[in-house]
Every structure is written in C-alpha cells, then in structure tokens.
Amino acid sequence: MIQSRRIGDAIITRVLEYSGPTHAPEFLFEKDLDRARLAAHASWLAPHHYVPHMDRLVITIQLWVLKAGGNTIIVDTGVGNLKPRAAERMNMLNTLVLPWLEAAGAGPSDVTHVVHTHMHTDHVGWDTTFKSGTWVPTFPKARYLYPRRDFDDLNAAAGAGKPDPAFADSVMPVVAAGQADMIDGTSEVAGCLAIEPAPGHSHGMLTFRLRSRGEEAIFAADVMHHPIQVAEPHWNSRYCVAPEQARKTRAELLARAADRNALIMPMHFGWPYCGYIRRQGTGYAFEGVAW
C-alpha cells in the first residue's frame, strides 16, 4: 500500500490509510452540486473517483512521505488509530499505517519533521499514538509544524468550551512534549519546502512547493477535495469555512500548477492519487499519473 516516485533528488512515497466510495455527492458538495455536470464527467471519474451505480464519490486518506536533503518529512498524518471520532468511517480505526511508514523508511525514530497543511481531524491523527494509558507523540525525534492561524483558532475554541477532539488527543500532547512549532507563509520548511498560503478550506491552510533539478511538486492539501473540482473549480466541499476565498485559492493553484507543470499531490484523490493540471479550453482537466 505504498508507492514512490522521484522529483529531482527527492523521493516521495504515499502511504494509504483508507480509500473507498464513502461520500454521497449531495453530502460533499451540499451547496454547489450540479447533477447534470456530474453526469457529464462520470466517464472519466469512474471507477477510481466516482461509482455511478452506488452514486458515491471515492475519497482517500493518505500520508505523504518526503525524503530530501537528509530529512524524512511526513506531510499530514491522516486519522490515526484508536481515535474516537463522530464519523463512523473514522471512528476507532485499526490500520497498518505505522508498519507501512516503517517500510517507507519513515518509522517513528526516522522522521525529522511532521508538516501540516491544516489541522482538520483527518490531517493530524497520527501525530500521536496511545501508549501506557495516554496519548504521546508518535515521532519522538521530529519537530511538528502547525499552521499558526489554524492552531490559534482551535486553541481559542477550546478555551471557549468548544474543544475539537483531534486537537485534544492529537495536537496538545505534542505541544506538551515541546515538539510543536508554528508556521505561516513567510518561511521554508526543512530546507526544501516553500510555503504557499491557501486559505479557504480552513483559514490557515497552507500548501507546500517542492522543487529539485528543474522538477516541481505541490502538496496541495484540500484545495481540491475531489478531482471533479479541477473541472468544476467553483464547487466547494461542505468543509470550506470561507467559500469565496476557497474558490479564489483553487483558481490560483490550478493556474500555477498548469503553468509550472507541477505534480499535484492532494490528500483525498482516488487512484492514481496524484497528477498534473492541464489547460482544456477555458478550463482545466486532471491528468492522473501512474506510479
């Protein structure tokens, strides 16, 4: 359940947590869904991104491992094991993510940086694991980098009596261990990842741009939750907290990726999980790239 590829001198490996036809279109795109447009795209979406006879969109949870410049970096950490969550598909998982990370050379003692595009439940889960009755950082030697705005929002909500379960069991133990750093749009991560602010899905979401030997890749976070948003970029998912900003961010990322011939690596696309943005008429098309 791991695949690797090179971007210049860097090696990128994806580790699958789970993938399947889990979301009804009306649920994910509750305000923007156009059934006629979905039907028009079904031929290229099926079967890896949409299952027409089930009327379900395929959603993936995955972790990206980057080896570059002597560092081992994980970009976003999925849902995690044994975490009580409201969504049934995420509740109390018991997966083999840790052995797969180890197989990818990113075992707990190997990881130098854990980098977060944003701080939703399905992006921070493996930050901690349950040991001896408590949640502890999974990667004891790593610095954990969190978007400052998202951290501040979640911390304020917790202080106001509206705690987020993932913030409590997956983030605050890292803070208590002294392994957390806050990042924004003004610095570079681990000497290889340029930060590009991408607000809209969350207020503080970031994407990360990798360049090596003339090649480029973008860890694209949830700017697009699903490939149909490449062709229909005005569609927002139900999870976008600032809808108009999310559309603006998506339009900017699509244009940058097309102009730079950059490989995009979103968090939730189905097979082949990453690909290129190609201009098509006045819009865009997604070109998946096999491993």
Determine the residue type at 88.
Answer: E
Give the mean pLDDT of the chain.
Answer: 97
Q: Return the structure tokens found at 204.
A: 């503080």
- pLDDT (0 to 100) of residue 1: 76
Characterise 92 by phi-psi region: left (phi > 0), alpha (psi -120 to 50), beta (else).
left
Sole residue written with tokens 């997604």: 286
Report d(CA 102, CA 98) in Å as an integer.
Answer: 6
Residues 6+ apart with CB under 8 A from 118: 147, 150, 201, 202, 204, 205, 206, 221, 222
Sole residue written with tokens 């003692």: 109
Q: Which residues of 128-151 are buried (b: 16+ CB within 10 A; e: fewer)?
A: bbeeeeebebbbeebbbbbbebbb
Domain ranges within the chain, ordered by starting residue: 2-288
Q: Nearest-CA neighbor of 194 among 2, 291, 13, 66?
A: 66
Sole residue written with tokens 């590009």: 196
Q: Model confidence over 43-98: pLDDT tens digits?
A: 999 999 999 999 999 999 999 999 999 999 999 999 999 999 999 999 999 999 99
- pLDDT (0 to 100) of residue 291: 85
Q: Model confidence over 266-277: pLDDT tens digits?
A: 999 999 999 999
At the topology level, CATH places domain 2-288 in Metallo-beta-lactamase; Chain A (3.60.15)
Q: Model confidence over 119-153: pLDDT tens digits?
A: 999 999 999 999 999 999 999 999 999 999 999 99
- Quickly state the pLDDT bin for 24 (edges 50, 70, 90): very high
Sole residue written with tokens 């097309």: 258
Residue 90, SS3 per DSSP: helix
Whole-prediction pTM value?
A: 0.96
- Quickly state the pLDDT bin for 196 (edges 50, 70, 90): very high
